[in-house]
Structures are given as structure tokens and as C-alpha cells.
Structure 1
């Protein structure tokens, strides 16, 4: 299940809706929809900070979207949540289990299936191109 990413601006606790990336070679700031994964050289911004974004003098701002809305949970997220709840309810003992004796093996941890990321078509530096749903 996806965790909510927050705006990277200091003291802002709003949910992130856009990702800002700098292309230093072109003196360009690229502001687009929220990236599928957090990247170390990009910045997640809330709607307020995305709308107010300005670039340094001599730089160009490229906006890939005009309206930034918070991402809704996908079907994969909801399936993963349902699977996690189902596994947790099955892992819960129906009767009280005896305490483990010293030196006995601990039970295996419960693992959860995470949704798969979209397939990466190509990668150029810090930018990724992902295959769309209809392709």
C-alpha cells in the first residue's frame, strides 16, 4: 500500500501532489505530476507550493500539468490492503498459545504482497519513462 508523501518544503505537512526536478544543464525546473517513487534529486510539493513555484533569474519553469490533485488509491493498493487484513486475521491465534520456551525457534514473520511498480521503459539520468496503462 502506498504511503502518503508530504511536501518537502520546511514545516509544510500537506500531502504532495507534484514533483519538481531541476535540469541544471538547461537551466530548467520541471514541475509535473507526483512521481511514482520518491527520488533523491527531486522534490515533492503540495498544491500550494506547486502553484507558487518560481525559478531563479535566467531559469525556465516547465509545467507538465496545470491542475495537481492528490493521488487516489489504486486498485492494486486496495487489493494489497485487503490481502494484508486477510493475512493478519488468519495469523491471529484463536486460542491462547503457550509461551515459547527459551531456545525454541521463533515463528516466521508474516510477509505482505506489495503492488508492483509500473515497468520502466527507459531511464536517462534521474528521469524515468514508464509504460502507460494502455500500452
Structure 2
């Protein structure tokens, strides 16, 4: 395998110099310096395809500046790009209901399911017993 990364566009054999990432929540395409390593949801583009890049109607293209004097992308640029993508992908914080509001105390949560134990201090009756013969 060649150490030079190629443009992600079909049939383009040019070396990649930019990385394209989408932030779907903000309808934004971020074009920045070539990422340090290949990411599964990013596209590496050559200079020609990066220059001709357009976004769908209603989307915004953010072009991060590229240092031409250095030997590659700066670490600050890559960190800013990664932080922006992580922040956009983070789900909004949900408030959990207080334990006093429910009938029991939550002991375990797996996805949308949760295990709740009864609070023995409330004096709630246990499960009904079968009469003995």
C-alpha cells in the first residue's frame, strides 16, 4: 500500500491534501487540512476537487485555512476540526427525573430499559401471596 493518500473521488489518482467532514446537525460541510489519519466518515480530496467543492442547497461550506509553509496540517487545525465534529454529534443533555418522583430507585439502565427496585421504606405491599391449602 502506498504511504501517499489519494483523493477519494472516483478515478482521481491525485494525492489528497484536504479532508472533508460533514456536520449533519448544522447542515455544514467542513473542508480543512489533511487529517493525520484516515477516518471512516471523512473524505480526502485533492486540491482540484477541494476547490470545486459545492454543498447542497441550504448547506454551508466552512473552509479552514491551510498552512502552506509547514510540512503538513497543524495540530491546532486538526484538533479544532475534530472538536467541532464531536460537539455537533453529541446528543443534547437529558434531564433525569428525581428518584422522589418515581415509585422506586433506579438501579441499572441499558439503553431505553431500566431496572427499578421498590423502596422498602414506603410500606408498599409486596406481591400477592397464594393462600395455602
Equivalent residue runs for 1:1-135 within 5 Å:
3-65=3-65, 72=71, 127=86
d(CA) in 2 for partners of 1:125 and 1:63? 13
Structure 1 residues 61 and 4, CA gap change in structure 2 (3 angstroms): same
Computed over aligned residues only, the root mean square deviation of the Cα atoms, in angstroms, reads 3.3
d(CA) in 1 for partners of 2:71 and 2:19? 16
Runs of 4+ aligned residues of structure 1 deviating over 6 Å after TM superposition are: none
Q: How far does the alpha carbon of each residue in 1:26-73 deviate from its partner, in whole angstroms, 9 at most, with x for none?
A: 0000000000000000000000000000000000000002x576x848
Unpaired runs of 5+ in structure 1? 74-117, 128-135
Residue-pair matches, total: 80
1:21 to partner: Cα distance: 0.1
d(CA) in 2 for partners of 1:68 and 1:47? 14
d(CA) in 1 for partners of 2:36 and 2:63? 17
